[in-house]
Amino acid sequence: REEKTLEMSADGKGVEVQRYKGLGEMNPEQLWETTLNPENRILKQVNIENAGEADRIFSMLMG
């Protein structure tokens, strides 16, 4: 993880790693910058071909 952080900060900008349980834990500025700002966000459509298999895997990963 440290190597990746150093690699990401090679351009001279500092890197700060934070973890959140959910979006409600973020302050409004962080939420806008990381999730809502159309200039920064990337939206991708997700298609589920096998709903049963997707449910099984999701349950296995999330508990």
Determine the structural domain holding residue 46 and report its residue range: 2-62
Task: Label residue 26 exposed, middle or buried (CB < 10 Å: 0-12, 13-18, 19+).
Answer: middle
Length of the chain, in residues:
63
Closest CA to 26 of 14, 38, 34, 16: 34
Tell me the percentage of the chain whose pLDDT exceeds 70: 78
Q: What is the mean pLDDT of the chain?
A: 84
Q: Please give the structure tokens belonging to residue 4.
A: 């990746």
Q: Please give the structure tokens belonging to residue 23.
A: 């979006």
Question: Does this model's pTM top 0.85?
Answer: no
> What is the total count of domains within the chain?
1
Q: Are 25 and 34 in contact (CB under 8 A)?
A: no
Region 34-54 average pLDDT: 93
pLDDT at 59 over 80: yes
Distance CA 33, CA 52 (A): 35
